[in-house]
Amino acid sequence: MTNLYEVLFIVPTTISEEDFSELSTKLKDTIENKHSSEIVKFEKWAERKLAYTIDNNQNGTYHILETKCTADGIKEVEAILSFEKTKVLRFLIDKI
């Protein structure tokens, strides 16, 4: 059964286009190909000053991903975001 999930994650402003492209491709492939689910929205939300320093970063770029996905797919997305410590500062996954 699929549910609608919202994934908000923060990447450093210093991340290269190549690294972000690799991360977004990994997320898209996991959701669309591996779990046969649908990405509703995937976009850059905002670049903001962080409330506190995270890994020597004072600014971050927020990205939002909305997907109709299974619970197993979301667990794998969470694992990917947790594993990518140098590319993802923080993330939050909500079931809508």
pLDDT above 90 for 74: yes
Q: What local confidence, expressed as pLDDT, does residue 1 receive? A: 82
- Dihedral sign (CA 41, 44, 48, 52): positive
pLDDT above 90 for 86: no
Sequence-ordered strand ranges (E) for the chain: 3-12, 38-54, 57-69, 90-95
Q: What local confidence, expressed as pLDDT, does residue 85 receive? A: 86
Q: pTM of the full predicted structure?
A: 0.90
Which CATH superfamily, name and number, covers 3-95? Answer: Ribosomal protein S6/Translation elongation factor EF1B (3.30.70.60)
